[in-house]
Amino acid sequence: MRSGFGIGRKRLLGALFALGFVCGISYCIIRDLFISDRGGEVEAIVTTSLSEKPLKGCEEKEYIRYADVMSTAMKVIVHSKSRELAAKVTEAAIRRVAEIEKKMSRFAPDSELYRLNQSAYKEPFVASEELFTVIERSLEFCRVSDGALDITVVPLIDVYKKAALRGTPPMEGEIKDALKRIGWQKVLLDKERRSVKFAVEGMALDLGATAKGYAVDCALEVIKSLGIKHALVEIGGEVSVCGAQADGKEWPIGIVDPRTSHRYLRRLGIKDGAIATSGNYRRYYKIGERQFSHIVNPRTGETSDSAVSVSVIAGDCFSADALATAVSVLGPEQGLALIKKFAGVQALILWKDESGEKTFETDGFAEYAR
């Protein structure tokens, strides 16, 4: 499972260049953009130029703005006739994501999730409506995936981080001890009070597998509410689009082939939908000479090293994000069976194990190929 997020400005440029799989659209970054907190109110300090380019055969122009959020790069693209409107909506989208990060970062001491993790074993933590809703919805994906996605995986994440620091693989005893403090069923919710309680001491929640997708969806909703009909939002590889492009064409999305930087695994066309990609090539733990996936199986304690790349297309990015992680743990057979439970959801899996490397996909995935 993907671990949580914090604020990491220095990684912005590297992250931007790593985003070559999105959209095949050129971009121009002028300066940095960062999020700050002043007087208890989240503000977006906009120090980037809003880049623009004409769209062939359209009155609208394409406007692009970048930000550094959730320890990765955010890209906002809108097609509009008004530069003023484009500036307004892209800034508003970034502010919305900053608000979400302030609530759901596992690492920032002033975040709501951090405070929850510190106190939810001792006494029920009364959460904001937004955080409670994200936790509740995340737990539903934990349930339907039979625990392949588990937002209580933090103790295992910590085991692998410590192992990476010392340069030796985790010991069996460390993993067994961590597993005792993991289990989505041990998160006790009270809907009436909107409270969260941990049944076992040492538990913690990590929303890294759902909050990013949620943030993408929320940013796009802000953009639509301000009158934009053609837009794309991406945060660290999680993408959601509104409508088609202004010229009527689908948004071009490229899934990078992790085996080479020179080609795409698939080229897709999407409108009014979302796609999330997870895999062992994007983030990992380097322990000695071995590379371990950052996605950890919460039921066994082992990392999902065979999941080279998993892409999920869904109607919303929250679902795509959660399912991409779950499928990475479940593997091709069980993963595709899970995807079939969700109407309109498609998946592409690149899997590598002792028998070799294979590609699996749902029947409808090819419909998006371009």
Residue 290 is predicted with a pLDDT of 73
Q: Has residue 231 been placed in a domain?
A: no
How far is residue 252's CA from residue 93's CA, in Å, rounded to a whole number?
A: 21
Identify the three-state secondary structure at position 88.
Answer: helix
Q: With pLDDT > 90 as the criterion, what percentage of the chain qualifies?
A: 73
Q: Has residue 172 been placed in a domain?
A: yes
Considering only 116-120, 125-129, 170-174, which range has the smallest mean pLDDT?
Answer: 170-174
Residue 20 is predicted with a pLDDT of 40
Supply the DSSP symbol for 171: P
Q: Has residue 41 been placed in a domain?
A: no
Neighbours of 124 (CB within 10 A): 17
Q: Over the range 289-315, which residues count as b (16 or more CB within 10 Å of their CB) and which as e?
A: eeebbbbbbbeebebbebbbbbbbbbb
Evaluate the CA torsion angle 216, 219, 223, 225 in order and state its sign.
positive
Residue 293 is predicted with a pLDDT of 79
Q: Has residue 100 been placed in a domain?
A: no
User: Domain of 131: which CATH number?
Assistant: 1.10.3980.10
Q: Has residue 32 been placed in a domain?
A: no
Nearest-10 crossing angle of helices 172-179, 154-166: 160
Residue 277 is predicted with a pLDDT of 94
pLDDT single digits (tens) 87-101: 999 999 999 999 999
How far is residue 320's CA from residue 66's CA, in Å, rounded to a whole number?
A: 22
Overall average pLDDT of the 66-86 stretch: 95
Count how many domains the chain has.
1
Overall average pLDDT of the 147-153 stretch: 98
Is the model's pLDDT at 37 over the cut of 60?
no
Give the range of the structural domain holding residue 165, as residue numbers without chain letter.
112-198
Q: Has residue 126 been placed in a domain?
A: yes
Burial of 101 (0-12, 13-18, 19+ CB in 10 A): buried
Overall average pLDDT of the 3-7 stretch: 45
How far is residue 332's CA from residue 96's CA, in Å, rounded to a whole number?
A: 35
- Residue tagged 């929303």 (tokens): 207
- The mean pLDDT of the chain is 87
- Residue tagged 């340069």 (tokens): 167
Q: Has residue 350 been placed in a domain?
A: no
Q: Has residue 87 been placed in a domain?
A: no
How far is residue 152's CA from residue 145's CA, in Å, rounded to a whole number?
A: 14
Overall average pLDDT of the 170-178 stretch: 95
